[in-house]
Structure 1
Amino acid sequence: MGILIRERGGDWQEPVMGYDSEKALQAIIHEHPSLVTGSLPGQADTVIACRELEGGVGPADVVVLDASGNLTLVECKLARNPEVRRKVIGQVLDYASRIWQMDADEFALAWAKASGGVSPFEALEDEDGLIRAAVAENLAAARFRIVLAVDGINDDLRRIVEFLNRITVPETGVIALELERASAGGTEVLIPTTFGTDFVEAKAAADPVARRARWSQEQFFEWCEENDPAGGPLARRLVTALLGRGFILEGGNGQRPSVNFGLTTAAYGLRWPVGIAARKDGVTVEIRFSDYKAIPELRDALAEAVESIPGIPVPVAQVRELGFEKRPSIPIRDFTPAHIDALPGAVARAFERAAADVQQA
């Protein structure tokens, strides 16, 4: 049975299926890298992506880096391309082998060259060098996730993915990501499907880095008490306020403790707009504007809601000037109890307002 699409109040019609080019598929993944990392085990919630990263043998289509230093290489192919079954495998493995030979500085230089001069560690605000250290470790160990992004998964591709996962080491996992696209008039629908995640999860269980335990709330508070006694009580107050407003908590799996706060809405699913992290100089609060830069109504509502809290030390104006590319990380000691009490409600209302704007459009 085919797909039918209609505008509200209009007639049902068959959409146009597929992409004009592989570049269009590449652009979607670059703008929404969580489509890739959301299906992989052990990935951090904050991710950035780079297109056409040069590895010495031609550029990789998309490279994704998360806040824990995990690397994912993405090769995009359309079903009509005869390379989808054979050459794509050789290409992506060749890219992986070239990146494997880089050190962290070379990787950062290649990323900056492909991304308008912005270092990935600067984009992720890696002030204490923990992300750089994790990237260096992953590069040296060839610890990559490889994603074959296509508009249609066939039996041949399934067989190749299963075989590659069987013969490669735990550090390397391969999945196929199908992004079926339908468009009609001004409406577009994207239908993601993955194959191979069960193989990757099984392999990751044998990898000591991939199976690194997530920090618990108690461990995070213990770190605060020992390393930031002034910020610790404020951190406890913010955690309590966020949980009381309906956010869910999940610990990070980086080298230092962190906790992330998610909110589920019908319009946007589960999102993680707030994080509290242990840094070299103490506890910091992150408002993840950059995660929503491609969702204008949500990023704007979030910015306005945070900005409406009198005197809050979040540099919203600077975030706007930088095109929502930054996710500010602010020492929690800069917040007052009033700021902390107001922040969870402001973030939640921003999601509610953005969802309402989408429904009215």
Structure 2
Amino acid sequence: MAENSGVFLLRGEDSLVPMQPGKFALEDDFQRLLARFPELLVGDQIDPQNPRRWILVKREQAISTREIGAPIWAVDLVFLDQDGIPTLVEIKRKEDSRLRRGVVGQMLDYAANCRTYWTAETLRDGFVTSCQETGQAPEKALADLLAPDMTPPEFWELVRFNLKANNIRLLFVADAIPIELRRVVDFLNEQMDSVEVLAVELRQFVRDDLKTIVPTVYGHQPRSPKRAGALRRWNEISLFEAFEQTLSERELAIARAIYAWMQKGGARKVIFGTGKDYGSVYPLFRPNGISINPAYLSTDGSLWLQFGSLEKKPVFGPIPARQALMQQFNTIKGVDLKDSDLTRYPSITLRTIAEDPEGETKVLNALKWMEEQIERA
């Protein structure tokens, strides 16, 4: 029996197979494995109370200082967790001499520049592209990540907030994490409040066509209250207090009219969002027992249309049905939604609606038309 294996596979009741330490031949093999199976980042070790789950934004995500002539680097992998925290992954094999020193400076460069070079839209576009390249539906991948009471726009708002606040996570991933790197990780965690720094060791064991991967996380510390703050649930009072601070009287009247339509005199349930910076509310529709959320009102001063979330859902799943809905909103002067918006999440500002003398009537007619289509389903 081989020495130094440390891992055994029990086959049936009578056969014990010793697994031998293996290695990743190329860094690209490492990248592809994590891109396909982000579960290997063991979110339950990173946060045992609230295990992290991931969506891949992109492999080789570009980043720079934005200065003229500055080099453009590429982060090996970028993920987002369910709280919209950008997670930057740099991969090195244990044979790489840069594992101990060079990779630390590299990651600090990324951390210092990501909030100025990236936007929530940058990461969203990367996510959509990665999904398309792997044959996934972006809407489904995101829905699988999010809590039932969080909308996609609220999630991307969280991403925007985290970038602005520099709430990010840095992961050093290697098939062996040297003690020197573990000490650096511990030191960085002690010095930075908003940035979480971890090292993930992925040890590989092989035997014939069998492979076993054993992940271990180094550097985990209890999350600080500053980083672990719970999201608040908005309500009617807090929503309109926020509106009153930013909207004109006419815009506020339109917001109240839209909210009244959502409530339907108290006969319809409305769901309030949990955004950190912006509140939101939307009416609960369940055609054929399936929840859909075609439109929501946000304290950013906009009515958001969730065309992208309607794909493969009742009523507005087919593109022609979404086109018909889009045309209802295009009757508002200054609104010019296009077919390219039918798979996205466009918005109409309350200011635009208010600038049309008949804007309030037109937007309510569009919403009522939408409601009629749902009720017929």
Counterpart code for 2:158: A
User: Structure 1 residues 119 and 255 mapped into 2: Cα distance closer, same or farther (>3 Å)?
Assistant: farther
User: Structure 1 residues 123 and 55 mapped into 2: Cα distance closer, same or farther (>3 Å)?
Assistant: farther
Asked if structure 2 preserves the Cα contact closer than 8 Å seen for 1:53 and 1:114, the reply is: no
| Identity in percent | 23
Q: 1:142 maps to what in 2?
A: 166
Aligned to 1:21, which of 19, 26, 40?
A: 26
Distance 1:100 1:66 in 2: 17
Counterpart code for 1:192: P
Aligned to 2:229, which of 208, 211, 224?
A: 211
- Residue deviations 1:237-284 (CA, integer Å, cap 9, x gap): xxxxxxxxxxxxxxxx9549xxxxxxxxxxxxxxxxxxxxx9834378
TM-score (norm 2): 0.53
Q: 1:2 maps to what in 2?
A: 5
Distance 2:139 2:115 in 1: 18
Q: 2:59 maps to what in 1?
A: 51
Asked if structure 2 preserves the Cα contact closer than 8 Å seen for 1:227 and 1:282, the reply is: no
In the TM superposition, what are the counterparts of 1:106-117 in structure 2 within 5 Å? Answer: 106-112=122-128, 116=132
- Secondary structure, in 3 states, of the residue corresponding to 1:280? strand
User: Structure 1 residues 213 and 139 mapped into 2: Cα distance closer, same or farther (>3 Å)?
Assistant: closer
1:30 counterpart = 2:35 = yes
Aligned to 2:197, which of 154, 169, 174?
A: 174
Distance 1:184 1:77 in 2: 23
Distance 1:119 1:98 in 2: 30
CA RMSD, Structure 1 to Structure 2 (Å): 4.3
Distance 2:170 2:225 in 1: 17
User: Structure 1 residues 28 and 128 mapped into 2: Cα distance closer, same or farther (>3 Å)?
Assistant: closer
Aligned to 2:216, which of 193, 218, 240?
A: 193
Distance 2:224 2:159 in 1: 20
Asked if structure 2 preserves the Cα contact closer than 8 Å seen for 1:44 and 1:68, the reply is: no
* 1:13 Cα deviation from its structure 2 partner: 4.3
Moved beyond 6 Å, runs of 4+ = 117-122, 226-232, 283-287
1:152 counterpart = 2:152 = no
Asked if structure 2 preserves the Cα contact closer than 8 Å seen for 1:111 and 1:120, the reply is: yes
Asked if structure 2 preserves the Cα contact closer than 8 Å seen for 1:149 and 1:177, the reply is: yes
Distance 2:186 2:44 in 1: 20
* 1:80 Cα deviation from its structure 2 partner: 1.2
Q: 1:40 maps to what in 2?
A: 46
1:104 counterpart = 2:120 = yes
* 1:171 Cα deviation from its structure 2 partner: 0.9
Asked if structure 2 preserves the Cα contact closer than 8 Å seen for 1:78 and 1:152, the reply is: yes
- Residue deviations 1:147-178 (CA, integer Å, cap 9, x gap): 1111112210111111111222x110101111
Distance 1:281 1:45 in 2: 29
**Which residues of structure 1 form unaligned runs of 5+?**
216-225, 233-252, 257-277, 288-312, 319-333, 335-361
Counterpart code for 2:284: G
TM-score (norm 1): 0.55
